[in-house]
Amino acid sequence: MASSAPLLEVKNLKKHFPVTKGLLLQKILGHVKAVDGVDFTITEGETLGLVGESGCGKTTTAKTVLKLETPTEGSVEVYGKNVHLLKGADLKEYRATVQAVFQDPWSSLSPRMRVRDIISEALVANRKVTKEEVDARVAELLSQVGLHPFQAPLFPHEFSGGQRQRIAVASSLASYPKLIMLDEPVSALDVSIRAQIMNMLVDLQQQYNVAYLLVAHNLATVRYMAHKTAVMYLGKIVEHSETEDLFKFPLHPYTNALFSAALPSHPDILTTEIVLQGEVPSPINPPSGCSFHPRCPAALADADLMKRCQGETPVLAEAAPGHEVACHLYTGGATGSVETTGILFKTGLEAEQAALKFKAAQAAGIGATVASAEDASRAVEASRAASKAQVKKEAVSRNETEPAKGNVETTEAQSEDDTIEG
């Protein structure tokens, strides 16, 4: 199936599940809009991470790509071919090209099949191979995932959870795929072996040049493995960027709230907790306009911005090169002036600085809509000065309990570094 087209291209993907009433004469009362207009592309050897709250449509998107669900609208193309229209030899080739590793290694492996049969199933079903080639491939994959070839005749119940997930990874690689769906691949495992599985997946990706679609809640896992990350909310992608750029300069208010809920990597790192109001709206009847506006701190603080968010659906557009966000804050705010549409910033840092100005101006009492650049700059400087003073105060308090001078200097230096990074 190889061609010049992207490995995977998802175009305006929608999956709506009908809500019915009755048994024989069913009446459709509405639709659950699990996925509602999703677009993304994955190239060979690339990892795209999908993150968001439970129920936002991540797994449904992955199932549609795997042809386990039929889309209501839109298309899923692998090397330029719509996978939901494939038949015969093309369908068999697709099944060999796209594989999956599911979340629970205790239920994803058949308890009645031996390990060698589980690993070789996709290879035997989709490729023309001899028994000697199958045995050699099984032994090779068991070695590559950290197991021993002599374990091939065993059953899944004879392995631990981490070992079972290694078997699942080996099974997904057997048919030489180009794309593997990773649906929470390490969330069901002990913390002690999560890093081992993630390192193994990264190493195998470099060895086979395979691409991953990674669905995960753990932001640290996504940041470690993914090259690009897309943030989903109520079936839509609200932000999409290179992973490091997204984590350093999150632009969408929902992305900021999502990241603030994650624990920092070090206890001395200061973070701002963002508590969203209300509950996630029902996907059966999502809010009009921007689906996040009932919980958005920016919209709740500005009546004019709220009117635009309620009446106009934001489009996923570039706020900085390679950094797309669906938010009216980056397309003119409450006014939506034509002059401010398009690529607003040269880098993700500039876009983040603009967001900081907005937040600081609001915190300083200037108002949600910044009156001028001077007011915003003063608010940012005041906010940063207050934050810096607080960090120094906490550092001094810690230093008073440490008699060693060297430790005091180290703590102050670390506090300064944390302040700069913040």
Express as a percent the part of the chain with pLDDT over 90.
56
| pTM (predicted TM-score) | 0.79
Categorize the per-residue pLDDT at 273 as very low, low, confident or very high, splitting at 50, 70 and 90. Answer: confident
Instruction: Determine the pLDDT at residue 307.
Output: 92
DSSP one-letter code for 78: E
Question: How much is the pLDDT for 3?
Answer: 53
pLDDT in tens, 352-379: 566 555 555 445 443 333 334 444 444 4
Q: What percent of the chain has pLDDT over 70?
A: 78
Q: Read off the tokens for 26.
A: 């069913």
Q: Tens digit of pLDDT for each residue in 73-110? A: 999 999 999 999 999 999 999 999 999 999 888 889 99
Separation of alpha carbons 402 and 408, rounded Å? 7
Per-residue confidence band for 252, with pLDDT thresholds at 50, 70 and 90:
very high
Q: Which residue has the higher pLDDT, 351 or 235?
A: 235
pLDDT recorded at residue 24? 81
Q: Residue 124: CB partners within 8 Å, gap ≥ 6?
A: 134
Structure-model confidence comparison of residues 58 and 409, the more confident one: 58
In the chain, the domains with their CATH numbers are 8-226 (3.40.50.300), 236-380 (no CATH), 388-421 (no CATH)
Mean pLDDT of 45-64: 94
Q: In the structure, what pLDDT confidence band is assigned to residue 325 with cuts at 50, 70 and 90?
A: very high
Residue 224's H or E segment, with its range, is helix 219-225
Contacts of 283 (CB under 8 A, 6+ apart): 32, 33, 34, 36, 55, 234, 235
**Rounded mean pLDDT of 213-218?**
94
